[in-house]
């Protein structure tokens, strides 16, 4: 049987060596001497005490720490969600966008419908400016979507004033992250929506 490994010798020092190896230790003079030497070192090290400082030292040390941290700002709060309203706002905004995108992706030819459902008058303008969108827009515009109606109603009821100041603008990098997680169809829907948004402005500017 092989001699005790390094880890086994440490286990033997702590008296927690497993039975089969303990049997070897009992039978092997070399391993026994090695473990005894290590135990002797540990015992000598353990016997050395830290000198007990003055009884007043502990109050003194606490006071020193107190004086030092009195000059420190209050430690930053943890990053629990309830401590970061920006997270809540940002995530809520992302959830709305993701839910909308997913819904659009799940509904075949619904991708450009966003532009149509926003406003009937805008639909006409967009339809004229971007013929490629007009056909589907007209189709979608005829069938008013209940899901988007709900989202639109929620958006209308949302007070954006605090959101502007806090976090309806998503945190840095979160928009990219959200976009990177969209499916192909969702991305197509997003692109179509952006095109629909940009087209009339281009027309007015042009």
Partner 1 sequence: MSDVWQTRFPWPAPFAPHASTMGGAPSDRVAMAAVGTVDGGIDHGALDDRALVAATLAGDRAAFDVIVRRHQRAIYGICHRFTGNHADAADLAQDAFVRAYRGLARFKGDAALSTWLHRIAVNVCLTRVSAKTPVADPLEPLDPVDVRGDRPDDPLRRAQDAALVKAAIARLPKKQRLTVILRVYHELPHEEIARALGSSVGTVKANFFHALQNLRKLLADGARP
Query: Closer CB to partner 1, residue 75 or residue 108?
Result: 75
Dist CA 8 CA 110 (whole Å): 68
Query: Closer CB to partner 1, residue 42 or residue 194?
Result: 42
Residues of this chain, 31-70, that bind partner 1 according to CB under 8 A: 37-38, 40-42, 44-51, 53, 57-59, 61-70
Distances (CA, A) of 145 to 12, 51, 80, 105, 172: 74, 79, 37, 14, 32
Contacts with partner 1, 65-104, as mask; x by CB under 8 A: xxxxxx-x-xxxxxx-------------------------
Backbone angles phi, psi at 172, to 5 degrees: -55, 130
Query: Closer CB to partner 1, residue 1 or residue 48?
Result: 48
Which residues in this chain contact partner 1 in the complex, by CB under 8 A? 6-7, 9-10, 13, 37-38, 40-42, 44-51, 53, 57-59, 61-70, 72, 74-79
């Amino acid at each position: 049987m092989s001699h005790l490994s390094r880890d086994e010798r440490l286990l033997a020092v702590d008296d927690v060596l497993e039975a089969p190896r303990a049997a070897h230790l009992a039978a092997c003079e070399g391993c026994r001497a090695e473990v005894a030497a290590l135990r002797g070192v540990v015992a000598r090290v353990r016997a050395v005490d830290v000198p007990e400082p003055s009884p007043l030292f502990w109050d003194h040390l606490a006071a020193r720490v107190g004086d030092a941290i009195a000059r420190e700002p209050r430690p930053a709060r943890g990053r629990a969600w309830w401590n970061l309203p920006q997270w809540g706002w940002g995530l809520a905004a992302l959830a709305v966008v993701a839910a909308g995108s997913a819904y659009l992706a799940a509904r075949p030819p619904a991708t450009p419908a966003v532009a149509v459902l926003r406003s009937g008058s805008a639909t006409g303008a967009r339809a004229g400016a971007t013929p490629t969108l007009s056909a589907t827009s007209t189709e979608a515009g005829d069938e008013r979507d209940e899901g988007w109606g709900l989202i639109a109603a929620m958006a209308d009821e949302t007070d954006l004033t605090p959101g502007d100041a806090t976090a309806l603008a998503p945190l840095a990098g979160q928009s990219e992250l959200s976009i990177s997680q969209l499916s192909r169809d969702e991305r197509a829907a997003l692109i179509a929506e952006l095109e629909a948004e940009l087209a009339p402005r281009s027309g007015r500017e042009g």
